[in-house]
Amino acid sequence: MNLHPLSDLMDVLGHIVKGSVDLMGRHETRITDLDEHSFHHILQFLSLFDVFLCRKVNKYFLKQIDSYLENCRQITYNCKLNGVHLSNGEYVFNGMAFNSLVAMMPNIRVMRFKKCPKMRSTLATTNFNLVSSLTNNLIMLNELHMTRCRALDKKSLKHLVDWFPNLTHLTVSVYNETSVEIIVKGFANLKYFNLEDSVLEDYGNHLQHLGLKIHTFIAALDHNNHKNSIIEGLLNGNGRNLQVLDMRIKVFDSDYTLFNTIGKEFSELVSLKMVFQSKRTVEDNNMLSGLAGLSSLKDLHLEENRIYSNFHSVFDDNSMLAIMRNCPQLESLSLISGGKHEQTSDGTSTHFRSLTDASLSLIDQLLPNIRHLSLKFIDITDKTLNSMERLKKLKSLRLNSLSGLTFDGLQDFMLNATQINRLEVINCLKV
């Protein structure tokens, strides 16, 4: 763990008071300059050792820190700040320090773990029980986010349900379908359920037990094509009222019905993220057109993984036009094509089989409310740039690997699109 001299700590705390931190700064600071508005920043920049060292400065600071910790409502446990720094440069979860921390913070409502890749192995090789630490010390926990940190076994999950039955937000990695059943039946007030880094088979039938308040579901990666079961489970219960849905799936030639079902049945959706791995062997149109039924959408992210072998893209202009015409409330749109190259008739050059100007050049007419737009591996030209220029509400734009654009077109766009606050252009010059 890095140890700062006490004088450096005073400098850091002084910068925190001013709303910024410069670890290299050297300014004279009095500890009494700190007030209650400063302390919510402290744990973001100092290790636990540093904080406890600061507590010894004087009785005033000791009292303020203790009061802050006791009344803290949320914490992000970051191993890079609050863990153990090993000699090889890695940071690992420090169970003893964590337990000491939460013991002084009984009123935490939101607990997040960030940058804790070694947490699982650390817990596996010690006797430290993370769930016991939470249940023994916390009394008001509403949100727990542990993705990529720790897989909870069934016993730990049941213990968690018993102690925190009113949990509303949960991000967790689980590896068996029974764990999903324990969660959805035990946490009746769950609003946000994230299984993103879980490894599961067919767990869809358990999703029908999600509570009345559920509004966000992030599914586990669908390794073995159980996506229809997942959708069916959601529609058989309160999941049909979801506002946010996030899925990573394989797409086959017969999956028109899947997208038609999503567009028809999830009428409350305002945000949809779908990541595809194409397994399509037939090249035709309208695969995604069923999503046009989601007329309330404000945020749409469609991403296609790299296409290999003889598989074809999920994207096509007809589907995109249908979505644009029927989802006029869209404010954020992200499109990432798989970037498949196809040989042209002369057998020497290649081109993208992707979305083109045929659909996206109409974006200013069909989606005038767009504020955030991101395009990658899309086969557009300066014609679509001209349309984007007329999007008066556009605030951020990210263009990545769009080989059909020209230098002159980009230059004119950057001069004229003055409404944009943030612009990223990556690998977009036509060679």
pLDDT tens, residue by residue, 186-243 = 999 999 999 988 999 999 999 999 999 999 999 999 988 999 999 999 999 999 999 9
Determine the pLDDT at residue 9. 46
What is the 3-class SS of the chain, one letter each residue? Answer: CCCCCHHHHHHHHHHHHCCCCCCCCCCCCCHHHCCCCCHHHHHHHCCHHHHHHHCCCCHHHHHHHHHHHHHCCEEEEEHHHHCEECCCCCEECCHHHHHHHHHCCCCCCEEEEECCCCHHHHHHCCCCCHHHHHHHHCCCCCEEECCCCCECCHHHHHHHHHHCCCCCEEECECCCHHHHHHHHHHCCCCCEEECCCCCCCCCHHHHHHCCCCCCEEECCCCCCCCHHHHHHHHHCCHHHHCCEEEEEEEECCCCHHHHHHHHHHCCCCCEEEEEEEECECCCCCCCCHHHHHCCCCCEEEEEECCCCCCCECCCCHHHHHHHHHHCCCCCEEEEECCCCEEECCCCCCEEECCCEHHHHCCHHHHCCCCCEEEEECCECCHHHHHHHHCCCCCCEEEEECCCCCCHHHHHHHHHHCCCCCEEEEECCCCC
One of 1.10.1060.10, 3.40.50.2300, 3.20.20.70, 3.80.10.10 is the CATH number of 243-431, namely: 3.80.10.10
Using the structure block, give the residue that is written with the tokens 């046009």.
292
Determine the pLDDT at residue 58. 55
Q: Which two tokens stand for residue 256?
A: 């028109």
- pLDDT confidence of 3, banded at 50, 70, 90? very low
Identity of residue 189:
N
Q: How far is CA 139 from CA 43, 53, 204, in A?
A: 21, 27, 32
Q: Domain boundaries in the chain?
A: 1-71, 243-431
Determine the pLDDT at residue 4. 40
The pLDDT tens digits of the residues spanning 280-335 come to 888 777 899 999 999 999 999 999 998 776 788 899 999 999 999 999 999 999 99
Exposed / middle / buried, residue 27 (Cβ in 10 Å: 0-12, 13-18, 19+): exposed
- 64 has pLDDT over 80: no
- 61 has pLDDT over 90: no
Q: Please compute the mean of the pLDDT values over residues 130-140 and round it to a whole number.
A: 92
- pLDDT confidence of 1, banded at 50, 70, 90? very low
Determine the pLDDT at residue 124. 73
Asked if residues 329 and 297 have their Cβ atoms less than 8 Å apart, the reply is yes
**Which of 28-37, 245-254, 345-354 shows the highest mean pLDDT?**
245-254
Region label for 19, one of left (φ > 0), alpha (ψ between -120 and 50) or beta (otherwise):
left
Mean pLDDT of the chain: 83
Determine the pLDDT at residue 426. 93
Residue from 324, 325, 323, 194 nearest 259 by CA: 323
Angle at CA of residue 106, ends 105 and 108, nearest 5°: 75
pLDDT > 90: percent of the chain: 55
CB-based contacts of 204: which residues, under 8 Å, 6+ apart?
226, 228, 229, 230, 231, 232, 233, 234
- 152 has pLDDT over 60: yes
Determine the pLDDT at residue 294. 98
- pLDDT confidence of 49, banded at 50, 70, 90? low
- pLDDT confidence of 348, banded at 50, 70, 90? very low
Asked if residues 231 and 266 have their Cβ atoms less than 8 Å apart, the reply is no
Please list the residues that pair with 245 across neighbouring strands. Answer: 217, 272
Q: Please compute the mean of the pLDDT values over residues 159-187 and round it to a whole number.
A: 95
- 46 has pLDDT over 70: no
Identity of residue 199:
V
Q: Please compute the mean of the pLDDT values over residues 341-352 and round it to a whole number.
A: 46
Core vs surface per residue 73-97: b (16+ CB within 10 A) or e: eebebbbebbbbbeeeeebbbbbeb
The pLDDT tens digits of the residues spanning 379-428 come to 899 999 999 999 999 999 999 999 899 999 999 999 999 999 999 999 98
- pLDDT confidence of 153, banded at 50, 70, 90? confident
Q: Give the chain's length.
A: 431
